């Protein structure tokens, strides 16, 4: 492809809306353009990259024995109503009606539709096991779309579903997908970890997430170096950590603390460390209010709270007016004693002695409060967020945390969907048995963002060869020089004819402009044809390396062919 003909409107300025490197670079290198919040168009360079990722995914899925098909994105509501997910998806589902007033949605994920397809099209248990997949556009009305294609409202997903008759069959199907995912992410050159997404109590490997380490990742992962325990923040089990508390019990007492609304202000005014306080935070979960208590130096994990309440709605801090109504005090003075709403206390709170809590009265706190004596929580559970230095729940070692981005998820679904939608086969006794399912997803365009997050520098993207939109770029320094142009044309033709995706910057532009663009769009191999073309020499440069090598024309072509993997 000639750059003079390519729709590649690169940007010199850093777009204000982009907070992270991959988003900035995808906009600047003209891969994507924003259409609406969380909705993007893919321009030629972006689409080529997307297709290259899809190719890797497709090859590994096919190798694992999965069959590709393609479902509609426009889905009738009935199956989602039958499984209850029409309600559970809530506002994150895009809904619409057709001209006959029939309900539809834009598919957020396709479990229901695949289950129905197998029910309608597979008539004998002899046709199982079966793993089906598609690479298709999904829609979710994210509350906070951000970070470009990392968290968009329309995205390309590879979703696969396995159908088995036995648990052992499901294990085998799951294992095949696990291996395929490792192969895919290895080929994409991603540095990733596999996180057990099961809660500790369940054990096993019923659900695993593939995460890439990234400082901008919104997921936090807890990891123990000693035993290898790895879990998502919302699943990571928190063990109460011992602290020194006064052992002598004293009667509860009310103290005036007029200007102490925060833990910092309290530690200053009372002169005791943060761990001696218990925070009481009022949360709204769906249409109910609950108080959540953690030690003063800890944070409440809203997802643990939400899961504990079994709510489809996120747990959110209550509005100040609601806090005032519930506690009869300004924000900052809530406490468990005498509170009218349910109190959920973290396990660690119950190991505290002589704690300080809000008095539910503006300007006052209670001291010498003993859990169990002065208040009894509605429920004691693990509701806090795990931190660096926490105790490993498996081996007692030390927990480290890091940020990550989920790029893939594999999940043993069991019979939830087959039961709800009546996908059964008769067993040897003639009794109908529900099919056992698994589901497996990869965020295809999110993979692109993850690759960029892990492969870029100040000048632009550094594509791994595997998914680079073009493998080689030929740059002619002076498009007006006949010798240079002739050699560059020859190189471009030779590489293209050999099947190497080659970009040819033939523009009548200053060399600096061309080099800046080349670095920005990140093509792995660059061959520059300049003044020394007259001597048969070119500059050979790798995007991920320092400096360049002077080579003769033929050697440069051979090396480019070899690196791009097309050399025979």
Residues of this chain that bind Zn ion (CB under 5 A):
224, 226-227, 229, 392, 394-395, 397
User: Considering beta carbons, is residue 228 or 246 the nearer one to Zn ion?
Assistant: 228
Smallest distance, Å, CB 63 to Zn ion? 35
Q: Which residues, 6+ apart, have CB-to-CB distance to 39 below 8 Å?
A: 152, 153, 154
Helix axes 167-187, 44-63, angle to 10 degrees: 140
The answer to whether the beta carbons of residues 123 and 92 sit under 8 Å apart is no
Residue 236 CB, nearest approach to Zn ion (Å): 11
Residue 202 or 395: the one with the smaller Cβ distance to Zn ion is 395
Q: Which residues pair with 474 in a beta bridge?
A: 504, 527
> Is 88 or 395 the residue whose CB approaches Zn ion more closely?
395
CB of 223 to Zn ion, least distance (A): 9
CB 445, CB 439: distance < 8 Å: no
Q: How far is the CB of 349 from Zn ion (least distance, A)?
A: 24
Judge whether 463 and 434 are in contact, CB under 8 Å. no
Closer by beta carbon to Zn ion, 197 or else 355: 197
Is-contact 155 138, C-beta < 8 A?
Answer: yes
Rounded distance, CA 283 to CA 180, Å?
41
Closest CB to Zn ion among 69 and 395? Answer: 395
Distance, in Å, from the CA atom of 501 to the CA atom of 563, rounded to the nearest integer, reads 12
- Closest contact distance (angstroms) between CB of 400 and Zn ion is 10
CA nearest to 311, candidates 286, 344, 276, 280: 286
Cα 362 from Cα 331, distance rounded (Å): 8
Nearer to Zn ion, 11 or 227 (CB): 227
Q: Is 220 strand, coil or helix?
A: strand
Tokens standing for residue 456: 């870029």
- Give the shortest CB-390-to-Zn ion separation in angstroms: 11
Cβ nearer to Zn ion, comparing 226 with 254: 226
- Tokens 């005014």, residue? 269
Number of separate helices (H) and strands (E) present in the chain: 14, 31
The two three-digit tokens of residue 428, written as one number: 């040897």
Under DSSP, is residue 9 helix (H, G, I), strand (E, B) or coil?
Answer: coil
What is the 3 state secondary structure string of 114-133? HHHHHHHHCCCHHHCCEEEE
Two structure tokens written together for 548 = 């360049």
Cβ-based nearer residue to Zn ion, 396 or 422 = 396
- Smallest distance, Å, CB 351 to Zn ion? 21
Q: Among residues 54 and 390, whose Cβ is nearest to Zn ion?
A: 390
Residue 371, SS3 per DSSP: strand
H or E element in which residue 268 lies: helix 263-270
Select 57 or 231, whichever has its Cβ closest to Zn ion. 231
Q: Least Å distance between CB 221 and Zn ion? A: 14
DSSP result, 156-211: EEEEEEEEESSHHHHHHHHHHHHHHHHHHHHHTT--EEEEE-S-TTT-TTSEEEEE
Nearer to Zn ion, 362 or 401 (CB): 401
* Closest separation in Å from C-beta 105 to Zn ion: 42
Residue 481's φ and ψ, nearest 5 degrees, are -90, 120
CB of 297 to Zn ion, least distance (A): 22
Would you tell me how many other CB atoms lie within 10 Å of the CB of residue 342?
Answer: 14
Q: Which is nearer to Zn ion, 363 or 397 (CB)?
A: 397
Question: What tokens does 25 get?
Answer: 């670079």
The minimum distance between CB 269 and Zn ion, in angstroms, equals: 39
Report which DSSP code applies to 384: B
Minimum separation from the CB atom of position 226 to Zn ion (A):
5
């Amino acid at each position: 492809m000639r750059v003079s003909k390519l729709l590649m409107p690169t940007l010199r300025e850093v777009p204000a809306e982009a907070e992270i490197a991959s988003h900035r670079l995808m906009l600047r290198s003209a891969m994507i353009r924003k259409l609406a919040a969380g909705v993007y168009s893919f321009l030629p360079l972006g689409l080529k990259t997307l297709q290259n990722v899809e190719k890797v995914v497709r090859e590994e899925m096919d190798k694992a024995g999965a069959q590709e098909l393609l479902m509609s994105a426009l889905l009738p509501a009935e199956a989602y109503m039958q499984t209850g997910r029409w309600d559970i998806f809530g506002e994150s589902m895009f809904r619409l009606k057709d001209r006959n007033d029939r309900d539809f949605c834009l598919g957020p994920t396709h479990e229901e539709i695949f289950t129905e397809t197998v029910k309608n099209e597979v008539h004998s248990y002899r046709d199982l096991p079966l793993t089906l997949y598609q690479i298709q556009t999904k829609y979710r009305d994210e509350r906070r779309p951000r970070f470009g294609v990392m968290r968009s409202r329309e995205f390309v997903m590879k979703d696969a579903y396995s159908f088995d008759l036995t648990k052992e069959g499901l294990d085998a199907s799951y294992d095949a997908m696990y291996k395929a995912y490792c192969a895919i992410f290895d080929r994409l050159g991603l540095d990733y970890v596999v996180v057990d997404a099961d809660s500790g109590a369940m054990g096993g490997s019923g659900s695993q997430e593939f995460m890439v380490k990234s400082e901008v990742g919104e997921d936090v992962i807890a990891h123990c170096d000693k035993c290898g325990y790895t879990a998502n923040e919302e699943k990571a089990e928190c063990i109460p950590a011992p602290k020194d508390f006064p052992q002598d019990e004293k009667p509860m007492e009310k103290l005036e603390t007029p200007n102490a609304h925060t833990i910092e202000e309290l530690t200053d005014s009372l002169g005791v460390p943060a761990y001696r306080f218990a925070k009481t935070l009022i949360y709204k979960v769906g249409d109910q209010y609950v108080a959540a208590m953690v030690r003063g130096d800890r944070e409440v994990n809203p997802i643990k709270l939400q899961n504990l309440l079994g709510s489809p709605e996120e747990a959110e801090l209550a509005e100040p007016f609601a806090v005032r109504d519930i506690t009869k005090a300004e924000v900052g003075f809530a406490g468990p004693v005498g509170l009218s709403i349910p109190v959920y206390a973290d396990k660690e709170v119950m190991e505290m002695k002589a704690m300080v809590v809000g008095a539910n009265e503006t300007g006052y706190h209670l001291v010498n409060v003993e859990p169990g004596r002065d208040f009894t929580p509605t429920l004691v559970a693990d509701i806090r967020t795990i931190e660096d230095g926490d105790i490993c729940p498996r081996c007692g070692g030390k927990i480290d945390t890091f940020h990550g981005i989920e790029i893939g998820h594999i999940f043993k679904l069991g019979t939830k969907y087959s039961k709800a939608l009546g996908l059964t086969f008769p067993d040897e006794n003639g009794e109908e048995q529900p099919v056992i399912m698994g589901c497996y997803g990869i965020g295809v365009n999110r993979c692109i963002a993850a690759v960029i997050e892990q492969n870029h520098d100040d000048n632009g993207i550094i594509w791994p060869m595997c998914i680079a939109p073009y493998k080689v770029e030929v740059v002619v320094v002076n498009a007006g020089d006949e010798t240079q142009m002739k050699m560059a044309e020859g190189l471009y033709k030779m590489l293209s004819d050999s099947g190497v995706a080659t970009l040819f910057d033939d523009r009548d532009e200053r060399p600096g402009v061309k080099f800046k663009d080349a670095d920005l769009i990140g093509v792995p191999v660059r061959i520059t044809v300049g003044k020394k073309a007259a001597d048969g020499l070119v500059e050979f440069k790798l995007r991920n390396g320092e400096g360049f090598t002077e080579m003769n024309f033929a050697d440069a072509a051979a090396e480019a062919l070899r690196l791009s993997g097309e050399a025979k």
